[in-house]
Amino acid sequence: MKRYLIPLAVFVVLAGFLAVGLRLNPREVPSPLVDKPAPAFELARLGAPGQRVAHTDLRGRPWVLNVWASWCLPCLAEHPLVGELARSGVTVVGLNYKDKTEDATQWLARHGDPYAMVLVDRDGAVGIDWGVYGVPETFIVDKDGIIRHKHIGPITPQALREDILPLLRRLGG
């Protein structure tokens, strides 16, 4: 009689793991860059190709990198929240990922431009350095240039309220 309890016990444990597993999101791959220095970059600004911005220019205060593209539907969905984030006073830098200049400029004109500046990553090379694998993605970087958080997918009100804004307050932004 007791021997039949062993497979049953194994099954229950397995079912437990599966139950937890079903709630996890396979699209959310944790970033190995958290708590590491932000990857170096030096990019041109959208609409002002002569002006180049490097990662070192952003030291001294916490800032947010928002990866977006005009062809990305969820980016449109999160855009108002990006605006809200910008209004809270933090510097939000947009990374225009694998996009066309005209499309990006038109998109911002139509939907609003909350960004302190928009940097152009035409071929996605900087995206690869930051471990970007989809759009939108949002990174929070502290004043010393260390990445502290990565948000995968569009920013939700809950994420803004519970993760992003509190973290920024802690970082002094």
Partner 1 sequence: MAERAGAFCARAAALLAAAVLVLGAVIATARAQTAGPAADAPAAVTAAPQAVPLSDDPALEAEVMRIAHDLRCLVCQNETIAASNADLAVDLRGQIRSQLRAGRNEREIIEYMVERYGDFVLFKPPVKPTTWLLWGGPFVLLVAMAGWLAHMLRRRRAEVAAAQAPLSDEERRRARELLGTGAE
Partner 2 sequence: MLLANNVLLMVASAAVLLGTLYPLVLDALNLGKISVGPAYFNTVFVPLIAPALFLMGVGPVARWKKASLPELALRLRWAAAVSLVTAVVTPFAFGDFTPLVGFGLFLAAWILLTALVAVHDRVQGLPLAQWGPRLRKQGGSWYGMILAHAGVGVFVVGVTLVGGYETEQDLRMEVGSTASAGGYDFRLVELRDVQGPNYDAVRATFELSKGGRVIKSIHPEKRSYHRSSMPMTEVALERGFTRDLYVSLGEPLQDGAWAVRIYVKPFVNWIWGGCVLMALGGLLAVADRRYRLRARAAQPLPRGAAAA
Residues that bind partner 2 (CB under 8 A): 14, 17-18, 20-21, 24, 29-30, 71-73
CB nearer to partner 2: give 2 or 23.
23
CB of 166 to partner 2, least distance (A): 20
130 is a site residue for partner 1 (CB under 8 A): yes
Burial of 172 (0-12, 13-18, 19+ CB in 10 A): exposed
Please enumerate in sequence order all residues whose Cβ is within 8 A of that of 82, keeping only pairs 6 or more positions apart, or say none. Answer: 66, 68, 92, 114, 115, 155
CB nearer to partner 1: give 48 or 128.
128
Choosing from 133, 144, 157, 170, the residue that interacts with partner 1 (CB under 8 A) is 133
7 is a site residue for partner 1 (CB under 8 A): no
26 is a site residue for partner 1 (CB under 8 A): yes
CB of 152 to partner 2, least distance (A): 12
The rounded distance, in Å, linking the Cα atoms of 56 and 54 is 5
Vertex 155 angle, CA 150 and 160, to 5°: 85
> Which H, E and C letters describe 101-135, residue by residue?
HHHHHHHHHHHCCCCCEEEEECCCHHHHHCCCCCC
The rounded distance, in Å, linking the Cα atoms of 128 and 112 is 27
Convert residues 27-56 into a mask of x (bound to partner 1 by CB under 8 A) and - (unbound).
Answer: --xxxxx-----------------------
Helices (H) and strands (E) in the chain, counts: 6, 7
DSSP annotation of 74 reads H
Among partner 2, partner 1, none, the one that 123 touches (CB under a kind-dependent 5 to 8 A) is partner 1
CB of 141 to partner 2, least distance (A): 23
Among partner 2, partner 1, none, the one that 31 touches (CB under a kind-dependent 5 to 8 A) is partner 1
